Amino acid sequence: MSRVIVVGAAQLGPIQRAHTRQDVLKRLMALMAEAASRSCDVVVFPELALTTFFPRWFEPDITTANHFYETQMPSSVTQPLFDQARRLNIAFCLGYAELTADGHRYNTQVLVGKDAKVIAHYRKIHVPGHEHHEPDRPFQHAERYYFEPSQDGFGVWNALGGRIGMMICNDRRWPETYRVMGLKGVEMILCGYNTPLHYAPDPSQDRLQSFHNSLVMQSGAYQNGTWVVGVAKGGCEEGVDSLGDSAIIAPSGEIMAQAQTTDDELLTYACDLDWCNNYKNTLFDFDRYRRPDMYSSITAQRGVVLD
């Protein structure tokens, strides 16, 4: 039985503040239709795919930003995307800002099956940035003000004929993200991101944004024998330049498809999940080679401790 998933990585160009949900939805539906025309099984959209990246502004009254959040998924506005997915027989993964009924705010991703039914939610665990207004920055990165870190952990779900996991943006920089899912047998990780090219705390890293993006996803794929699908919202959004470089990465760590623009662009690749076994059963046979008794500090401590 074939275990090939044809993946569409649906990169988005900028979403400006003036763009409505309906404006954005038209773009998402166009990319989904293109993915279906290329026989994709699943189409993956970026982090916060329904709005501009609003944590670049600091609103003293956080409730004035409530319109950026979704209180249900699907909503009356996003229902057409679900309807189209069912009609086209294609699954999708979508990032958005979530405001729960009890007032929690999360940076969330949803995985939806070909029948348009929700398979799983993932809420961002490694939330970067700052909690307070930092007026000296050219733009804010106030994710820790607008979103709380999830306590749900890294799930892996039986979906699309394989073991599917999710992560969001900064999660991809942390090796623990991949390893926890790797220990659950993950075969494909879906990741949306918004990454400004300028990093205010250390501008010397600006020129390395593309390199670091590829570095962490390729190494995570290789060291855990899994496909990684990284999808950007890039381009110049509200005066802030963001990285494109969406990519579909094999369990070997090789980039099999990569975006050539920072606009709306669809990458596709037929991903053979059985390729994962070439690494899971050899170099990275966890049961044979891992030494968890030597790794206790990974979970026993948070910051650096000098011996």
**pLDDT score of 108:** 98
Instruction: State the Cα–Cα distance between residues 262 and 122, nearest whole angstrom.
Output: 25
Confidence of residue 1 (pLDDT cuts 50, 70, 90): low
Render pLDDT for 241-294 as a digit per residue (tens, 0 to 9): 999 999 999 999 999 999 999 999 999 999 999 999 999 999 999 999 999 999
- Contact between 159 and 119 (Cβ < 8 Å): yes
Catalytic residue ranges? 47, 124, 169
DSSP for 2-69 reads: --EEEEEEEEB----TT--HHHHHHHHHHHHHHHHHTT-SEEE--TTTTS--GGGS--SSGGGGGGGS
Render pLDDT for 167-180 as a digit per residue (tens, 0 to 9): 999 999 999 999 99
**pLDDT score of 266:** 98
β-sheet bridge partners, residue 121:
110
**pLDDT score of 82:** 98
For residues 191-220, give the mean pLDDT: 98
Render pLDDT for 14-68 as a digit per residue (tens, 0 to 9): 999 999 999 999 999 999 999 999 999 999 999 999 999 999 999 999 999 999 9
* Sheet with 118-123, edge to edge strand ranges: 118-123, 105-112, 91-99, 42-44, 4-11, 265-272
For residues 77-97, give the mean pLDDT: 98
Instruction: State the Cα–Cα distance between residues 217 and 229, nearest whole angstrom.
Output: 9
User: Would you say residue 2 has pLDDT above 80?
Assistant: no
What Rg, from alpha-carbon coordinates, does the chain have? 19
Render pLDDT for 97-116 as a digit per residue (tens, 0 to 9): 999 999 999 999 999 999 99
**pLDDT score of 307:** 83
Supply the mean pLDDT for the chain. Answer: 97
- Contact between 244 and 9 (Cβ < 8 Å): no
